[in-house]
Amino acid sequence: MATAASASASPAALRAKTPAPTAHPGPKPSLAFPWPSPGASASASGRLHASLHLGGVRSNGTGLHVLHPDVTPLAVPKMAGGAGAQKSILLYHCEEMGDLARQVAARNDDIELCTISWRKFPDGFPDLFIPNAQNIRGRHVAFLASFSSPGVIFEQISIIYNLPKLFIASFTLILPFFPTGTSERMEDEGDVATAFTLARSLSHIPISRGGPTSLVIFDIHALQERFYFGDSILPCFESGIPLLKSRLQELPDSDNIAIAFPDDGAWKRFYKQLQHFPMIICNKVREGDQRIVRIKEGDARGRHVVIVDDLVQSGGTLIECQKVLAAHGAAKVSAYVTHGIFPNKSWEKFKPDNGEGPEHALSHFWITDSCPLTVEAVKDRRPFEILSLADSIASALQI
């Protein structure tokens, strides 16, 4: 049978029947790794085996087999932002934010505090210097800003525009309080929206090697202001309300808390974060030349009522809200705002409750450290208590 004949054929006979390959004229192409000749010694074959091992090709003496490279994967550096890795961040700050910056750096070993020389020329214009600027190349960089007054914005904008140009890997601007737009009303032709102007200025921060700047803001006053920013910046809107919720859980009467909002705007902003508390909504009504605060819905009787808003200026609305809640039977009245602005020392209006009752004083007034000048003025002064944004900022820097 043909099958048996084929099976019994010797290897030599089979090789004899195999047609020789057709010869092609011209020089042979050179090989990156020369093939061993049939008569190559075992030592030469061994040398070839060793020389090709790291390259992912291995000889067994009769041919070549492609293998996966025997190379240990390189560890991903922290600054590369690999999965599960913390970014190593250089944190700069303005002079006002020194205390908060130190607290942020203390929260995370991957955050390194850096300094800037804030000097002035004889004519009053800023004379600024970033030490060791070449050493921050390829690093993740953040700047903690405070636009507490128009006089300090220009010098900080100068730093903010310069840092991304130092070949850094990424740039994050932390501006806890976005100051403009808190009292703006676009009612007449000719009104100027300064919030739009500032948002556009920040939208033109130069991009870093990693892309557009990330901007972290806490409880921006008017929600529509988020649309003022252009496509060249990535706004990240955070809130101080989680700090308040944690603090309320520590109170001895935490099961008797009710949340009051001074107007519909505050309710729309915060009710989803506080919806597991009983709620009271107040509003302002005009009677003649006066604006009077009234309770629109909710029951304050016997409750420790906490008034919640994003910011306070003169404090007049908060005080009127406090009085109407006390008149409707609140056992205690406290207040929380993310941004305690208090121009012209208006914080002096708020007195601690020393037994006089909620119609005269507040049990607690919680603010964050988004406005450092206010923090310096009211620290260790009842009824004020500072809830620090340090943990929230440290977490936001890892986004």
Residues 101-114: b if buried by 16+ CB within 10 A, e if exposed: bebbbebbebbebb
3-state secondary structure the chain: CHHHHHHHCCHHHHHHHCCCCCCCCCCCCCCCCCCCCCCCCHHHHHHHHHHHHCCCEEECCCCEEECCCCCCCCCCCHHHCCCCCCCCEEEEECHHHHHHHHHHHHHCCCEEECCCEEEECCCCCEEEECCCHHHHCCCEEEEECCCCCHHHHHHHHHHHHHHHHCCCCEEEEECCCCCCCCCCCCCCCCCCCHHHHHHHHHHCCCCECCECEEEEEECCCCHHHHHHCCCCEEEEEECCHHHHHHHHHCCCCHHHEEEEECCHHHHHHHHHHCCCCCEEEEEEEEECCEEEEEEEECCCCCCEEEEEEEEECCCHHHHHHHHHHHHCCCCEEEEEEEEECCHHHHHHHCCECCCCCCCCCECCEEEECCCHHHHHHHCCCCCEEEECCHHHHHHHCCC
In a domain, 18, yes or no: no
CATH number of the domain at 261, please: 3.40.50.2020
Using alpha carbons, select from 347, 399, 393, 395 the residue that is nearest to residue 143. Answer: 393
Domain around 302: 241-368
Average pLDDT over residues 357-369: 94
In a domain, 2, yes or no: no
* 196 & 217 share domain: yes
Average pLDDT over residues 27-36: 46
Residue-level pLDDT at 356: 84
- Taking the alpha carbons of 283, 287, 288, 291 in that order, is the dihedral positive or negative? negative
Rounded to a whole number of angstroms, the distance between the first and last alpha carbons of the chain is 76
C-alpha to C-alpha distance for 375 and 385, rounded to whole angstroms: 9
* 100 & 227 share domain: yes
Burial label for 42, CB within 10 Å (0-12, 13-18, 19+), is: exposed
* 162 & 247 share domain: no
* 211 & 348 share domain: no
In a domain, 149, yes or no: yes
Domain boundary among 179, 204, 238: 238
Residue 278 structure tokens = 């009983």
Is the overall model pTM greater than 0.85, yes or no? no
pLDDT(58) > 60: no
Which amino acid makes up residue 10? Answer: S
pLDDT tens track for 127-179: 999 999 999 999 999 999 999 999 999 999 999 999 999 999 999 999 999 99
In a domain, 43, yes or no: no
User: In this prediction, what percent of the chain has a pLDDT beyond 90?
Assistant: 67
Using alpha carbons, select from 306, 287, 298 the residue that is nearest to residue 358. Answer: 306
By mean pLDDT, which of 184-188, 369-373, 393-397 is the weakest?
184-188
* 253 & 218 share domain: no
* 232 & 309 share domain: no
* 179 & 192 share domain: yes
Average pLDDT over residues 271-275: 96
User: In this prediction, what percent of the chain has a pLDDT beyond 70?
Assistant: 77
In a domain, 14, yes or no: no
* 178 & 317 share domain: no
* 204 & 274 share domain: no
In a domain, 299, yes or no: yes
* 100 & 188 share domain: yes
In a domain, 60, yes or no: no
Residue-level pLDDT at 193: 82
Contact call for residues 272 and 245 (beta carbons, < 8 A): no
Structural domain count, the chain: 2
Domain boundary among 238, 270, 290: 238
* 93 & 207 share domain: yes
In a domain, 100, yes or no: yes
By mean pLDDT, which of 24-38, 151-165, 369-383 is the weakest?
24-38
- Taking the alpha carbons of 217, 251, 320, 329 in that order, is the dihedral positive or negative? positive
C-alpha to C-alpha distance for 215 and 221, rounded to whole angstroms: 16
Interaxial angle between packed helices 150-162 and 194-203, expressed in degrees from 0 to 180 and rounded to the nearest 10: 20
* 121 & 210 share domain: yes
Domain boundary among 215, 238, 261: 238
pLDDT tens track for 222-266: 777 888 899 999 999 999 999 999 999 999 999 999 999 999 999
190 vs 334 pLDDT, higher one = 334
Residue-level pLDDT at 84: 59
Give the Cβ contact number of residue 198 at 10 Å. Answer: 21
